[in-house]
Structure 1
Amino acid sequence: MLAKLIPLDGSDPIIIEHDLTLVGRSQGFCDLYIDKHSISKLHCLIARTDGLLYIRDLASTNGTRVNGQKVTRGALLPGDELFFAGIGFKVYLGPDEPLINQILDDSFADEELLTADGSDSDVRLIED
């Protein structure tokens, strides 16, 4: 199962790789480090088990919200909006990404793609 948090500000998604992910402002201690003063040093814990995500607030100062509701603990469902002290994420839960996509993403991240434009080149588009 692929679990990730997609930041609502458009920055890169965060993949939840471990069964337990500690979220907070304590750099070097938290698995998911968020450098904002509104985040507690140990803000919350995300648990990944049996294809589901669970959240538990760790008595944070500014709280954890799911779909606008303050929570101390609960399950996270696909599409839920999760907020740590006002910093928002959309929850994604789905099948693992096919291995070929991971390889291609890693291998060609900084490469230009070839295109078949009909010119005199070694690459041609063959139509039926």
Structure 2
Amino acid sequence: MARLVLICDGDDLVTHKLGNVTTIGRASLNHIVIDNPAVSAQHAIIGRSADSYRLKDLDSTNGTQVNGVFITDAELKDGDKIRFGSVVAVFCGMLPQRLMKQTSSSPTGPLILPL
């Protein structure tokens, strides 16, 4: 399952699992709430399709960037650096299906992934 890792106050990391649709913003009704004045109440949305995730800016005041470029809509790749206003996050994509099949049948133990 894909994750969004928020980098908060220096070195603190907060990891959020992404569903089929994940809303991001300052308002409490969002799936991921970012309490920061640079983030709009309804800032962005991440949606999942069969084999990818897309990030869409919801006409936020301070914009959304992927790898330093302002976007309105973008497909996310593993390791993409996302900025919601002044808040930084990293997209951690899903494991490829073939790797998941290999690891699920492997008797060597659990798969440990770095953040």
**Pairwise TM-score range, normalised by the shorter structure:** 0.7 to 0.9
- Per the alignment, residue 57 of structure 1 pairs with 57
Query: Whole-Å Cα distance in 2 between the matches of residues 14 and 75 of structure 1?
Result: 18
The superposition leaves residues 57-77 of structure 1 with CA deviations (integer Å, 9 ceiling, x where unpaired) of 010000000000000011010
Unpaired stretches in structure 2, ≥5 consecutive residues: 111-115
Letter in 2 for 1:15: K
Unpaired stretches in structure 1, ≥5 consecutive residues: 102-128
Identity %: 27
Query: Whole-Å Cα distance in 1 between the matches of residues 6 and 57 of structure 2?
Result: 19
- Does residue 1:6 correspond to 2:8, yes or no? no
Count of aligned pairs = 98
In the TM superposition, what is the alpha-carbon distance from 1:24 to its structure 2 partner?
0.7
Query: Whole-Å Cα distance in 2 between the matches of residues 24 and 7 of structure 1?
Result: 13
Instruction: State how 1:1-128 maps to structure 2 within 5 Å.
Output: 2-8=1-7, 9-10=10-11, 11-16=13-18, 18-27=19-28, 29-95=29-95
Please tell me whether Structure 1 or Structure 2 has the larger radius of gyration of its CA atoms.
1
Q: Provide the aligned C-alpha RMSD in A.
A: 2.1
Please give the secondary structure, in 1, of the residue aligned with 2:60. coil
Letter in 1 for 2:22: T
